[in-house]
């Protein structure tokens, strides 16, 4: 063997050793690392999963952003999991406190511009992948947010109906009221509100595909006299020149950016009638955090998970009085596991739409999110509030 070949082999062994040493930090649950003909055990006890590696992941990349390095290796097929992906992530992501993220990466995450043009691009990059893609693994309501499992045997479809019914009950709707849905998605919530309460609703979204599908559904359901959908930025709401009795926003504030939480709340304040009821449903963090680098790079560009206290602070600045706060964290874990199951059942159809890297990326996204909710890394909160004082609502939890 030539000298340079020996040097290359020694260097490869050093890289392999340092990679395994880095992974050795995550020893709360035992697992195996398998690379070529070598096998390494991490932690004490019987391994609960095996990480199979086709090539070494440089420690420099793991140090710069552990989540990005591991995520990209999985997407590229250089890393695979022997066993159930969700279960492995559930063990591994419970130790996210040991992940490394460089200051440069954190700075990039923290200072993501939120101009209107950029925000529209970021939102459409996720939600305009294609309605046919989402229809493969969402339920028939096309609800892309946390369901509400009232009973252990509820299907995903029933859980999404439960969620919408629960939100509408919290809003204390009455016939003839006006309801604004900020980030209305494909419109199921507003359609249910119109059918069950005969309200007049307006939905806004930045997604062109959601806008077109919601328009189609309004026509198909004969709801033109009750519902309107607009493709617009929330910051343009005051230009509508309309005040609403109720405002709801489900899974949208995570897209506005930390610097815009107050602006978002100000816009809600500007279009809600005095004494009106506001419900905000959002993914939240226990504390303020710059976010997951892999998730922001590949899944939700510009996305930011607010803390509960940040949102409540913004509400208090606009004289919103909080009536109730509810955490539905484990409901989102179950919702995501349903989506993951549906997604895996339709992999052949997904592969006809996208390449293998996308297929693996989306599988990782759904499984990782389910694991982070299970581990309490993120929560799902619903905040119910009134603009100013409303003494006409029931004094107990009527819902």
Q: Which residues are catalytic?
A: 369
Cα end-to-end distance, the chain, whole Å: 76
Helix (H) / strand (E) containing 79 = strand 79-82
- 178-182 sheet: strands from edge to edge: 227-231, 200-205, 178-182, 244-250, 272-284, 379-387, 320-327
Cβ atoms within 10 A of the Cβ of 64, count? 16
Q: What tokens appear for 280 in the block?
A: 């905000």
The CA angle 224-225-229, to the nearest 5 degrees, is 50
Q: Are 79 and 51 in contact (CB under 8 A)?
A: yes
**Region for 277 from its dihedrals, namely left if φ exceeds 0, alpha if ψ lies in -120 to 50, beta otherwise:** beta
| Alpha carbons 305 and 291: distance in angstroms, whole number | 7
Q: What tokens appear for 271 in the block?
A: 């279009």
Among 200, 186, 202, 206, smallest CA distance to 141 is for: 186
Q: Are 293 and 261 in contact (CB under 8 A)?
A: no
The CA angle 227-232-236, to the nearest 5 degrees, is 105
């Amino acid at each position: 063997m030539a000298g340079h070949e020996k040097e290359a082999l020694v260097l490869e062994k050093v890289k392999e050793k340092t990679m395994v040493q880095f992974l050795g930090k995550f020893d709360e649950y035992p697992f195996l690392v398998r690379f070529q003909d070598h096998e390494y055990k991490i932690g004490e006890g019987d391994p609960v999963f095996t990480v199979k590696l086709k090539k070494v992941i440089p420690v420099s990349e793991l140090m710069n952003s552990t989540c990005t390095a591991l995520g990209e290796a999985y997407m590229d097929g250089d890393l695979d999991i022997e066993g159930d992906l969700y279960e492995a992530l559930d063990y591994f992501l419970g130790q996210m406190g040991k992940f490394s993220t460089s200051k440069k990466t954190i700075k990039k995450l923290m200072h993501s511009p939120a101009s209107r043009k950029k925000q529209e691009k970021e939102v459409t990059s996720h939600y305009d992948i294609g309605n046919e893609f989402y229809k493969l693994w969402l339920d028939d309501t096309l609800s892309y947010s946390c369901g509400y499992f009232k009973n252990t045997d509820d299907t995903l479809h029933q859980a999404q109906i439960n969620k919408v019914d629960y939100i509408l009950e919290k809003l204390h709707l009455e016939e003839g009221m006006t309801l604004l849905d900020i980030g209305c998605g494909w419109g199921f919530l507003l359609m249910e509100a119109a059918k069950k309460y005969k309200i007049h609703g307006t939905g806004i979204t930045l997604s062109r595909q959601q806008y077109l599908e919601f328009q189609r559904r309004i026509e198909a359901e004969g709801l033109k006299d009750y519902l309107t959908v607009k493709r617009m930025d929330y910051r343009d709401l005051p230009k509508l020149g309309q005040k609403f009795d109720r405002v709801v926003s489900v899974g949208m504030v995570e897209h506005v950016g930390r610097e815009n939480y107050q602006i978002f709340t100000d816009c809600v304040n500007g279009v809600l009638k005095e004494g009106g009821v506001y419900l905000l449903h959002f993914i939240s963090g226990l504390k303020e955090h710059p976010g997951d680098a892999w998730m922001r790079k590949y899944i939700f560009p510009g996305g930011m998970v607010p803390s509960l206290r940040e949102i409540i602070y913004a509400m208090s600045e606009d004289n919103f009085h909080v009536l109730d706060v509810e955490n539905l964290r484990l409901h989102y874990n179950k919702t995501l596991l349903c989506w993951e199951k549906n997604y895996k059942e339709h992999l052949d159809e997904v592969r006809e739409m996208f390449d293998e890297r996308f297929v693996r990326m989306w599988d990782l996204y759904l499984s990782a999110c389910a694991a982070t909710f299970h581990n309490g890394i993120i929560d799902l909160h619903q905040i119910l509030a009134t603009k100013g004082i409303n003494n006409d609502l029931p004094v107990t939890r009527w819902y």
